């Protein structure tokens, strides 16, 4: 039941609870952000921040960091780790603080003013970053240190930070000639603007479409909870007495699962998968062309054949060939299974007298029927046991039993939206570990998907261990007037997944911010999140948190058995749609020549090449593939599968010794969760596991081998 979700540094947007107005800037530019927030645990004072505070703080932050960098670069003393690398790591505090809040808030509650400011800031921030990474005097100091570390007595973490800093400058173009540097600056500005525009277009496309139903007969097959949610959406849209379905996943997916109206399933699904591909003002095809070609130009300018070669050089996978091998190896198991599943669904259509060949908008509907037929598993029967608050308490309980963590609800603290909740995270000895925010329901101003990030990262500064402020965002089933939020199995798994990312941030315990928390390669960062999924439906864990929202009854063994029996059901589809998207990503980013792409044709040929069956489309079609064209996963969507090799292997000691084995959990915390990027990821993994991962466990988890 593997699900794959996004972690990003640019998430939510701002201040539904009070100050989204376009206010006047503070009298002292950037003043509210100029020092650590004078609040409990340094939490952002959302009740005091107004929109007008942001631009002055960004401008002042860039100015301050530029001065700090200039001071480091022109320091007359010989370069040392402390006066160069550590000084750089600690620079830009104001800019870092305002960026985390602004971009951290940009994804969950955006508006026209915030989007306009983000577009205005984009070239300024790009130029500021380039001014640092292309500073020859600064690099000369870094290179001096990197070229001879023999007498520096560096710790492993310090050497790692030095090496990562050096490579970062080289990969940013410091070795280029002046003309190439000028062109590189232009490319970086263009890419920054284009990726931002891609995401804005997708959000508009998602929000602009509504399937409005005014005939009750068109609700045939839909569960009462789905109907009630659609009625509430309609009421909020000013269409009381009707039913509205949107392109938010908690709305469109249950419609596809249960609606008996095939024409309406087709209409809603096509609206979902044509986002960004409607030849309108929100169309993303030209943007994709520009992004792909600029990435090719940049990679080749830096000495790489393709963008994928450039990206993977810093990941565990290292080369496109290694990624293609992993994806194709799994594809060889997944596609035949998907074809069997399609035949099974077609057989049900035929048995019911349906005179049509199954299409992609039929898959969920008939899959749900087959699942009920084979396993007597009706998700509507299960959902009452997965009240959102109970599931959240479940992940808290797992974290307590594994790592000794305790979560204390923080009352009357400022949040950016009334739906957000905040917790203090305490270690087993009662010491403060982190602050943790949750924001779980879809809104018009929130990007689709689920993610984790931080309003403050962990580091040791001036002898003080600065503890992180972490958040999880999701788009889960909303509560209605009559029922609380009751999660689907996929949503439960998503919540556990994102909480795994949160633990990676919360438990960070290194010295330098540049290697702290989730600052690791894309194909390692998903290990902490995906290993958490293993606890979500473990029978021992279910009995801790899965309680009926009305009666408090613990989920019965009969339902647990059904969940377990069906855990590998539909795995051909789940794996095939994912691998198809990952291969599409790689096909775009292994292009070695700039050209004009027909995006529809490119995608069609990419899928035909691997034999994707017509009944399935890639999990993300090109024009709404935000992971690779708006997020940080270009040539990196494969990372979820690469990390699954790790997580499946990493969970084995818990299988063998017990799901809450303390010694294993302590080792995972000490060697993986707390270490960030302070050492090579495979070195960290082998310290935990004692050996490199065995890929057989991935295939077993997906039911492809026994």
Which residues does the annotation mark as catalytic?
498
User: What is the C-alpha separation between 415 and 379, in angstroms, rounded?
Assistant: 33
Structure tokens at 327: 């994806």
Could you give the count of Cα atoms lying within 13 Å of 409 in the half-sphere of its Cβ?
7
Contact 655, 31 (CB under 8 A): no
Please give the C-alpha separations between residue 582 and each of 26, 78, 475, 610, in angstroms, as whole numbers.
46, 47, 23, 12
User: What is the C-alpha separation between 220 and 216, in angstroms, rounded?
Assistant: 8
Structure tokens at 349: 């259509």
**DSSP assignment of 224-292:** HHHHHHHHHHHHHTT-TTSEEE-SSHHHHHHHHHH---HHHHHHHHHHHHTTT-SSSTT--HHHHHHHH
Q: Count the Cβ atoms, other than its own, within 10 Å of residue 58.
A: 24
Structure tokens at 198: 């891609």
Q: Count the Cβ atoms, other than its own, within 10 Å of residue 129.
A: 16
Q: If we measure between CA atoms, which residue out of 603, 587, 573 comes closest to residue 308? A: 587
Element (DSSP H or E) covering residue 531: helix 522-536
CA dihedral 313, 316, 321, 324 (to 10 degrees): -130
Structure tokens at 562: 């059904």
The C-alpha angle with vertex 582 and arms to 580 and 584, in degrees rounded to 5, equals 70
Contacts of 434 (CB under 8 A, 6+ apart): 424, 425, 467, 468, 469, 470, 505, 506, 507
β-partners of residue 56 are none
Structure tokens at 350: 């035929």
Could you give the count of Cα atoms lying within 13 Å of 706 in the half-sphere of its Cβ?
0
Contacts of 551 (CB under 8 A, 6+ apart): none
User: What is the C-alpha separation between 631 and 451, in angstroms, rounded?
Assistant: 11
**DSSP assignment of 431-446:** -EEEEEEEE-S--TTS
Mark residue 621 as left, alpha or beta (left: phi above 0; alpha: psi -120 to 50; beta: remaining).
Answer: beta
Q: How far apart are the first and last CA of the chain?
A: 16
| Stated length of the chain | 706
Contact 203, 110 (CB under 8 A): yes
Q: Count the Cβ atoms, other than its own, within 10 Å of residue 301.
A: 16
């Amino acid at each position: 039941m593997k699900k794959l979700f996004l972690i990003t540094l640019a998430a939510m947007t701002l201040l539904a609870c009070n100050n989204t107005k376009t206010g006047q800037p503070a009298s002292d530019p950037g003043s509210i952000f100029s020092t650590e927030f004078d609040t409990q645990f340094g939490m952002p004072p959302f009740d005091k921040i107004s929109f007008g505070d942001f631009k002055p703080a960004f401008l002042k932050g860039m100015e301050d960091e530029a001065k700090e960098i200039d001071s480091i670069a022109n320091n007359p003393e010989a370069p040392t780790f402390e006066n160069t690398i550590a000084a750089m790591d600690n620079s830009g505090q104001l800019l870092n603080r305002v960026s985390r809040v602004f971009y951290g808030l940009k994804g969950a509650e955006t508006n026209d003013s915030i989007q306009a400011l983000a577009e205005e800031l984009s070239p300024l921030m790009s130029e500021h970053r380039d001014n640092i990474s292309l500073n020859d005097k600064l690099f000369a100091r870094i290179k001096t240190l990197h070229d001879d570390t023999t007498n520096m007595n560096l710790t492993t973490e310090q050497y790692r930070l030095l090496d990562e800093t050096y490579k970062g400058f080289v990969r940013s173009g410091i070795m280029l000639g002046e003309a190439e540097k000028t062109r590189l600056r232009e490319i970086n500005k263009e890419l920054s603007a284009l990726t931002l525009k891609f995401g804005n277009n997708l959000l508009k496309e998602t929000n602009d479409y509504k399937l409005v139903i005014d005939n009750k007969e068109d609700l045939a097959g839909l569960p009462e909870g789905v109907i009630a949610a659609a009625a509430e959406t309609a009421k909020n849209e000013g269409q009381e007495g009707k039913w509205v379905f949107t392109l938010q996943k908690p709305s469109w997916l249950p419609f596809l699962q249960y609606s008996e109206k095939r024409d309406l399933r087709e209409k809603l699904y096509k609206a979902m998968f044509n986002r960004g591909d409607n030849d309108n003002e929100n169309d993303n095809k030209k943007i994709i062309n520009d992004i792909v070609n600029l990435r090719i130009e940049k990679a080749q300018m830096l000495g790489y054949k393709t963008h994928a070669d450039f990206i993977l050089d810093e990941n565990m996978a290292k080369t496109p060939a290694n990624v293609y091998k992993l994806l194709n190896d799994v594809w060889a198991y997944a596609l035949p299974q998907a074809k069997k599943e399609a035949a099974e669904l077609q057989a049900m259509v035929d048995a019911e007298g349906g005179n049509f060949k199954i299409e992609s908008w039929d898959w969920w509907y008939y899959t749900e029927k087959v699942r009920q037929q084979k396993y007597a598993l009706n998700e509507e029967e299960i959902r009452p046991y997965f009240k959102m608050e109970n599931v959240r308490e479940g992940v808290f309980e797992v974290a307590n039993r594994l790592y000794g963590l305790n979560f204390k609800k923080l009352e009357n603290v400022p949040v950016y939206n009334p739906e957000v909740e905040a917790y203090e995270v305490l270690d087993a000895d009662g010491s403060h570990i982190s602050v943790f925010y949750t924001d779980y329901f879809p809104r018009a101003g929130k990007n689709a998907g689920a993610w984790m990030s931080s309003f403050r990262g962990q580091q040791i500064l001036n002898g003080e261990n600065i503890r992180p402020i972490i958040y999880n965002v999701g788009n889960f089933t909303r509560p209605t007037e009559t029922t609380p939020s009751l999660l689907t199995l996929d949503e439960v798994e998503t919540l556990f997944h994102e909480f795994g990312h949160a633990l990676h941030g919360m438990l960070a315990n290194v010295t330098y911010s540049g290697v702290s928390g989730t600052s690791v390669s894309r194909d390692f960062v998903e290990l902490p999140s995906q290993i958490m999924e293993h606890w979500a439906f473990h029978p021992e864990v279910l009995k801790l948190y899965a309680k009926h929202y009305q009666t408090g009854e613990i989920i019965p063994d009969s339902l647990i058995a059904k969940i377990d029996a069906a855990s590998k059901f539909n795995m051909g589809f789940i794996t095939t749609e994912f691998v198809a998207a990952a291969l599409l990503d790689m096909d775009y980013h292994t292009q070695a020549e700039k050209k004009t792409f027909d995006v529809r044709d490119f995608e069609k040929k990419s899928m035909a090449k691997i034999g994707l069956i017509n009944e399935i489309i890639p999990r993300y079609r090109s024009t709404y593939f935000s992971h690779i064209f708006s997020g940080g996963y270009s040539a990196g969507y494969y990372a979820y599968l690469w990390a699954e090799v790790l997580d499946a292997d990493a969970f084995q000691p818990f299988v063998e010794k017990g799901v809450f084995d303390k010694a294993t959990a302590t080792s995972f915390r000490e060697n993986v969760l707390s270490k960030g990027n302070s050492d090579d990821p495979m070195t960290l993994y082998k310290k935990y596991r004692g050996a490199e991962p065995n890929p057989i466990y991935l295939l077993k988890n997906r039911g492809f081998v026994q």
